[in-house]
Amino acid sequence: MSQMSSNESLNIFTSIINNDGMFRTYHQRNVIRRRQNRQRGRQRIYRNHVRFIASLNIINNEENT
């Protein structure tokens, strides 16, 4: 077997395991969790933003009538 970097052999190892569908590596789980948290965070911010604008519109309408 030719000399490989530890990174290469690790990548081969993880791809074999992932193809088996046995488990994801710790790092990949973290990456995915981070991505999901980011999306949840964006949704939360967006929802609050919409609520804020809606409340501004209500105040505005009360002043106009």
Q: Is 18:24 a contact under the CB 8 Å cutoff?
A: yes
For 53, the domain range is 6-64
Residue 65 and residue 47: Cα distance in Å, rounded? 27
Size (the chain), residues:
65
Residue 1 domain flag:
no
Quote the number of domains for the chain.
1
Residue 30 domain flag:
yes
pTM of the model as a whole: 0.29
Q: Is 65:57 a contact under the CB 8 Å cutoff?
A: no
Tens place of pLDDT for every residue, the chain, 65 residues? Answer: 556 666 666 666 666 655 555 555 666 778 878 888 887 777 776 777 777 777 777 777 776 66
